[in-house]
Structure 1
Amino acid sequence: MVTPRIPLNFFGMPFGLAGLAELWVTAGRQGHAPGTVADVLLAVAALVWLSTLVGYLRYVAGGRGRLMADLTDTVAGPFASLALITPMLLAAQGLAPHAESAGRIVVDVFIVLTVLLGGWLTGQWIYGPLVLDHLHPGYFLPTVAGGLLAAASAAEVGQQRLAQVMLGLGLVCWLILGSMILARLLFRPRLATPLVPTLAIEVAPAAVASLAYFAIDGDRVDAFAAGLAGYGLLMVLAQLRLLPLFRSLKFTPSTWSFTFSWAAVGAVTLHWIESGRPAGHLTYTYLVLAAVSALVGAVAVRTLIALGRRQLLPKPPPQAAGSAADN
């Protein structure tokens, strides 16, 4: 029996669900939503992460060198970080409020693993070396998303100094990688179709940096937070020009790239709405919740349909398929 291949970008599924849970956690803390919604989403995200992890470990255990091949793959490799970032978020948002010490330990363990993997991947990219055309926004994940979300998670469990260290790691990596990735997108050929959904990740760094900063600084909107919002607004508006490209896409697992990115934008928007409390602020809050929930829900439903039709997992290579048929 051939063990099905689980691509690394499948970890984008629990990551997107964790992002939606973060949005509802934010709304709950502001008193605009019941906490049970976030709790259910956190539990679902944890279940999907565990299922994906078990499936992936079975896959890599079924053949020598599969893990290293994935980690050194210049397209898929960066997505490996989501296997570590997601449980870090779930521990900070779902475990720590109920079991503070256990939550802190789990967060710390996955922060260490995230930084180690980010360092290893950075070294691998130097050792490689990389071809510029292989860069895509998924390269933000190991160190930019990893660092910034580690900062937010550390702040959630009361480790302010560690949070500041991780914020610095994420911000510096964003400045460096952001310039390189944007240059590749501007001056080199368009991304291959399966990677086009990763363009949505361009809206994430400013949003995630804002969430980390709010977690550290206590939801205070100051000059730095406003500056992050300015760049974030630019990237959100840039996505509007990309809508025709996005609408031409067929569903693939990489479609989950849209989910966490926009959930993070939604969570930051809730912080800003709550800070300013403009007229009709509750309406704006519920519109954000509804829009992001509808997006993630639609992608989740499409995923279940593909799974039911046996279209979600990649087809085995002809040789492997033939061997399975012979058995």
Structure 2
Amino acid sequence: MVMPESTTAATPQPTLEQPLLARLSIAMFAIVMGVGGLGNAWALAHAVFGAPLVISQLLLALALIVFALLAIAHLAKLGFHFKAVVAEFAHPVRSSFFPATSVAAIVLSIGTRVYSVELAQGLWWFGAVLHLLLAVTLIRRWITHAQDESVLTPAWFIPIVGNILVPVGGVPLGHVEISWFFFSVGLVFWLMFFSIVLHRVLFVPAMSVRSVPTLFILLAPPSIGLSAYLAFTGGFAGPLAHILYSLALFIAILLVTLLRHVSHGPFFMSWWAMTFPVDGWAGATLAYAHAQPSGYARAIAVFALASASLVVLLIAGRTAFYMASGKAFREE
């Protein structure tokens, strides 16, 4: 007697969704970078234009709270879902966001320095050491393993740009020699990777809709580089400052023309990649306007600060709805 085939075996089984903690993305530290970076920009606006200091304080407090919550959550993820962390770090795109943790710490170090030098020192050392480890690990991986150029995005700049940010927090804390080390590494690698990323954008099939907003990261290196240079010179705008300022301004103008293209499509958490570069540009233009006062420089600084504030506000609003729908924790 022939037995009928089991229908149970042929029925597709639903895929079990991972727990919420396992799905938590390391890229969420970009929220701290965006909110904290805007807080630092408003602190400079207070020094340059006399803007209300309370705006900076509120943004910084929010960034600290989010950083603490994310740090606790990711430590729990590391303990309970270690394989998920390993898989995320092995991903060719998501791995570039791991240094967002160290960059976020340095951003908070810059903002907290005027309130607590001890806290700023702790955050700076944590960020600098962690960033060095992550940068070496990721760059070593890129060198020793053949990379698929089609998955390359400007997010690869994060391990590089973080090096340039270190002096912005380190020089005022007295770590000048170490800051020169990070600045040198970041500046030279930025120039190399800029040509690689530009080649990918121009000659390789278009990036995914989710990755397109990372184009804003192109604005970060010259902007943060300008702030770092002014930190080294004590606010003196030499030839390199003028070059970095002009380059950042050109990239900002270019991004404005691409804004509709960049923001086209559904919302993803990757949109937060737009915030920190714009914050950095606002901070750099404010520092430049203070070092090289003119009506032209002040007008651009005001525009940059307003743009950064609007970008963070709009993306924060979209994020609130996105999280409420649960989609923020189901991104593939």
Q: TM-score, normalised by structure 1?
A: 0.89
Gaps of 5+ in 2: 1-17
Contact in 1 for aligned 2:96/2:156 (Cα 8 Å): yes
CA 1:271/1:98 → structure 2, altered by over 3 Å: closer, same or farther? closer
The answer to whether structure 1 residue 290 and structure 2 residue 306 are counterparts is yes
Specify the alignment match of 1:187 in structure 2.
203
Provide closer, same or farther for how the CA distance between residues 310 and 287 of structure 1 changes in structure 2, counting only shifts above 3 A: same
In the alignment, is the contact (CA less than 8 A) between 1:137 and 1:199 conserved in 2? yes
3-state SS, counterpart of residue 171 of structure 1: helix
SS of structure 1 residue aligned to 2:250: helix
The reply on whether 1:112 has 2:129 as its aligned counterpart is yes
Does residue 260 of the first structure (1) align with residue 276 of the second (2)?
yes
Distance 1:166 1:260, change over 3 A: same
Counterpart for residue 29 of structure 2:
11
Distance 2:261 2:199 in 1: 19
SS of residue matched to 2:115: coil
Superposition deviation, residue 297 in structure 1: 0.9
Greater relative contact order (CA < 8 Å, ≥ 6 in sequence): 1
Per-residue deviation at 1:193? 1.1
In the alignment, residue 131 of structure 2 is paired with which amino acid?
T
Compute the displacement of 1:284 (Å): 5.6
Structure showing greater radius of gyration is 2
**What percent of counterpart residues are identical?**
24
Q: Which of 25, 48, 65 is residue 66 of structure 2 equivalent to?
A: 48
Q: Deviations over 1:138-193 (max 9, x none)?
A: 00101x22101112111121221122111101101101111111111111111111
Root-mean-square deviation (Å): 2.1
Shift of residue 122, structure 1, vs aligned partner? 1.1
Equivalenced residue count is 314
Residue pair 2:46, 2:52 contacting (<8 A) in 1 also: yes
Partner Cα separation in structure 1 for residue 122 and residue 20 of structure 2 = 33
2:95 aligned residue = 77
Query: What does 1:129-168 correspond to in 2, within 5 Å?
Result: 129-142=146-159, 144-168=160-184
Change (3 A) 1:280 1:229: closer
CA contact (8 A) 2:278 2:304 kept: no
Q: Contact 2:282 / 2:301 at 8 angstroms: preserved in 1?
A: no
Quote the Cα distance in structure 2 between the aligned partners of 1:212 and 1:251: 32
Say if 2:89 and 2:98, in contact at 8 Å, map to a contact too: yes
Counterpart in the other structure of 1:235: 251
**TM-fit CA distance, 1:257:** 1.0
Superposed CA deviations along residues 100-157 of structure 1, whole A, max 9, x for unmatched, are: 2442233123211110111011112223321122211000101x22101112111121
CA offsets 1:65-109 (integer angstroms, 9 cap, x no match): 222221121011010101121112212321x32332442233123
Indicate the residue corresponding to 2:322 in structure 1.
306
Aligned residue number for residue 205 of structure 1: 221
Which amino acid in structure 1 is aligned with residue 147 of structure 2?
L
Q: Residue 93 of structure 1: which of 111, 121, 132 is its match?
A: 111
User: Secondary structure at 1:183's aligned position in 2?
Assistant: helix
Counterpart residue identity of residue 249, structure 1 = G
Distance 2:154 2:195 in 1: 11
Instruction: Provide structure 1 residue ranges, at least 5 long, that are not aligned to the other structure.
Output: 317-327
The whole-number CA distance in structure 2 between the counterparts of 1:250 and 1:103 is: 37
The AA in structure 2 aligned to 1:216 is F
Of the candidates 70, 76, 80, which is equivalent to residue 58 of structure 1?
A: 76
Q: 2:145 aligns with which of 128, 131, 136?
A: 128
TM-score, normalization: structure 2? 0.88
1:136 aligned partner, one-letter code: T
Separation (CA, whole Å) in 1 of partners of 2:101 and 2:107: 11
- CA shift, 1:290, in A, is 2.8
